Amino acid sequence: MFDVNKDAWNKKTPCHLKSEMYNLEEFKNGKSSLHFIELEELGDVKGKSMLHLQCHFGQDSLSWARMGAKVTGVDFSDEAISAANSLRNELNLDAKFICSNVYDLKSKLDGKFDIVFTSYGTISWLPDISKWGKLVSHYLKPGGTFYIVEFHTIVWMFDDDFTEFKYSYFNQGEIEEMVEGTYADTNAPLKQTQYGWNHPLSEVINSLIQNGLKIEFVHEFPFSVYDVFANSVKGEDGWWRIKGMENIIPMMFSIRAEK
């Protein structure tokens, strides 16, 4: 399943690099890819070491580097890491990128970090959240900060059109899907099988607590900062909600914890 997903992400990456959603030219000209939530909730990163898990092609990693963090980004897609290295070199930023499945990272990366960060569409690709929590704890310095901002599991329960529940809120094993296009470009000439896993919020929180982290806060948000879900409408605040369910269901959550 990891091999199938890796192949899918290798094929998605060239489409994402050209997409309007990622807006690479504006990013190269100085626009940050980070959103107000992670900027406000993680705070000042200047001079701090950061491990960015599942970094895709490195836009967020490099945005943190622009703010003074010393970033190491990790992703299992060869194409994404190649693009991240090219982008880092072009922009002359202080960041390092490693191609690795997060579960295999200990064989490729030593050291401890002030911050471990991950965001937006990451943990749904991981089958074992307990093992993920151990990895987070392993790479954090004592007193270090873990931060995640992520899509809420409730949005992954729906069918593609958000008309009814199709999947369990709980982790009942892999979910196999055939996906056409990609979230960043629905018209991309892609048709791919992919595997994902749903994780209830309790599973995520407990994996951190059980691995020595103290939860500072858990926040839930009734909107998405990305227009990536079907049947969504843009609110006056500029963010996206499912039509007919505006401010009824959570669409994202964030957690900050300290080791």
Q: Supply the pLDDT for residue 50.
A: 99
Q: Supply the pLDDT for residue 134.
A: 98
Q: What is the mean pLDDT of the chain?
A: 98
Of 147, 181, 121, 131, the C-alpha closest to 39 is 147
Q: For the segment 190-244, what is each residue's pLDDT rounded down to a tens digit?
A: 999 999 999 999 999 999 999 999 999 999 999 999 999 999 999 999 999 999 9
Measured distance CA(256)–CA(56) in Å, rounded = 21
Count of positions (residues) in the chain: 259
Q: Supply the pLDDT for residue 229.
A: 96
Contact 151, 251 (CB under 8 A): yes
Q: For the segment 150-192, what is each residue's pLDDT rounded down to a tens digit?
A: 999 999 999 999 999 999 999 999 999 999 999 999 999 999 9
Mean pLDDT to the nearest integer, 127-135: 98
Q: Is 83 helix (H, G, I), strand (E, B) or coil?
A: helix
Q: Supply the pLDDT for residue 119.
A: 98
Helix H, strand E, coil C: the string for 174-226 is CEEEEEECECCECCCCCEEEEEECCCCHHHHHHHHHCCCCEEEEEEEECCECC
Q: Supply the pLDDT for residue 40.
A: 98
CA angle 194/81/195 to nearest 5° reads 10
Measured distance CA(219)–CA(234) in Å, rounded = 21
Q: Supply the pLDDT for residue 145.
A: 98
Of 221, 121, 134, 204, the C-alpha closest to 169 is 204
Q: Supply the pLDDT for residue 36.
A: 98
Mean pLDDT to the nearest integer, 119-139: 98
Q: Supply the pLDDT for residue 18.
A: 97
Q: For the segment 21-63, what is each residue's pLDDT rounded down to a tens digit?
A: 999 999 999 999 999 999 999 999 999 999 999 999 999 999 9
Q: Where are the domains of the chain?
A: 2-258
Under CATH, domain 2-258 is a member of which superfamily?
Vaccinia Virus protein VP39 (3.40.50.150)
Mean pLDDT to the nearest integer, 3-7: 98
Measured distance CA(172)–CA(185) in Å, rounded = 29
Contact 140, 146 (CB under 8 A): yes
